[in-house]
């Protein structure tokens, strides 16, 4: 087999692995969410983060064993607590977690908490439900989450 044939086979394998997964092939997908809080307090950050994470997990049927890692970020005006403290509420003792601050861009949405869950799933990109609530809908109007009880 020459180099061209090997490269062709390698490309075919890569194409198959990165297309929509089959019924048993899991790939790592990013699931996004964002929310805001009214005040820079521990209570507000923990409550809003837990609500956001719960909605993301419920909307997608995410199980802890399928989570590769989770990144939380906050705008620079939130520093009263790490959003990742919600890990105990979700049984995430063994999940890799990280907290960081977003850039301080003038005019950006204030008091915003974002989450990015790296999820091993068989779902395609189009099947992922991203959750934007409590004023964060403006970040991605195309992904705005309907109110509870509303149609998807």
Catalytic residues: 32, 87, 99, 102, 114, 132, 140
Nearest C-alpha neighbor of 46 from the set 135, 101, 54 = 54
CB 70 within 8 A of CB 115: yes
Burial (Cβ within 10 Å: 0-12, 13-18, ≥19) of residue 92? middle
The 3 state secondary structure assigned to 61-86 is CCCHHHEEEEEEEECCCCCCCCHHHH
Tally the residues of the chain. 152
- CA 131/CA 152 separation, integer angstroms: 11
52 token code pair:
């956001």
């Amino acid at each position: 087999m020459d180099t061209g044939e090997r490269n062709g086979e390698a490309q075919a394998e890569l194409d198959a692995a990165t297309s929509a997964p089959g019924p048993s092939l899991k790939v790592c997908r990013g699931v996004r969410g964002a929310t805001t809080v009214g005040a820079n307090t521990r209570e507000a950050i923990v409550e809003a983060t837990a609500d956001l994470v719960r909605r993301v997990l419920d909307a997608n049927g995410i199980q802890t064993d399928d989570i590769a890692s989770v990144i939380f970020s906050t705008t620079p005006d939130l520093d009263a607590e790490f959003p990742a403290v919600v890990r105990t509420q979700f049984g995430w003792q063994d999940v890799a977690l990280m907290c960081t601050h977003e850039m301080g861009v003038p005019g950006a949405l204030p008091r915003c908490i974002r989450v990015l869950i790296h999820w091993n799933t068989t779902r395609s990109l189009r099947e992922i439900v991203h959750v934007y609530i409590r004023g964060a809908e403006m970040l991605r109007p195309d992904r705005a989450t309907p109110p509870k009880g509303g149609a998807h």
